[in-house]
Structure 1
Amino acid sequence: MSWNNWVRQTHRWLSIAFTVAVIINIAVMGQEKAPVWVGFLALLPLALLLFSGLYLFVLPYATRWRRGRRADGKG
């Protein structure tokens, strides 16, 4: 599996983990005495989603930029 496919697959699974963490957070916050750690449960997948999402966002621009540099013979 190539690096790009691995990042895409990881991003998909992280989105599922984030969604589950938010659902758990909403369910637990309905209780009277909610533990503090539940509030932070979704932060780890969210941070990882940020980095993988930024990578996937920049990927087409970087590919186009690299292709353009090779085409003019300077890169």
Structure 2
Amino acid sequence: MNKRIRQVHRWTAIAFTVSVIAAFIALAQPEPAVWVSYVPLIPLAALLLTGLYLFTLPYAATWRRTRRTADQV
């Protein structure tokens, strides 16, 4: 599961980068569509969720390890 989350996080980062570049290009047009500036928010939300999960993994492992040793004593 962790491997899949990391993979999703990496691909979402690529999608976010591409959407930001596309938004910059679209907004540089003479008649820019304002809604294009909101498109990068979708992959950014996914990056937030997967990033928070990946950030908490080491803390959760430490918490589980200390609980397991406390239960054995």
Q: Report the TM-score range of the alignment, normalised by the length of the smaller protein.
A: over 0.9
Among 33, 38, 55, which residue is 1:57 paired with?
A: 55
Unaligned runs of 5+ residues in structure 2 are none
| Worse-matched range after superposition: 37-46 or 14-23 | 37-46
Q: Which has the higher helix share?
A: 2
Q: Match of 1:9?
A: 7
What is the Cα deviation at residue 32 of structure 1? 1.5
What is the Cα deviation at residue 20 of structure 1? 0.0
Describe the superposition over 1:53-73 as per-residue Cα deviations: whole angstroms up to 9, x where unpaired. Answer: 000001100011001100121
Q: Residue 33 of structure 1: SS of its match in structure 2? A: coil
CA–CA distance in structure 1, aligned partners of residues 31 and 39 of structure 2: 16
Q: Residue 9 of structure 1: SS of its match in structure 2? A: helix
- Over the matched positions of the two proteins, sequence identity in percent amounts to 51
Among 31, 49, 72, which residue is 2:70 paired with?
A: 72
Aligned Cα root-mean-square deviation (Å) = 1.0
Unaligned runs of 5+ residues in structure 1 are none
User: What TM-score, normalized to structure 2?
Assistant: 0.92
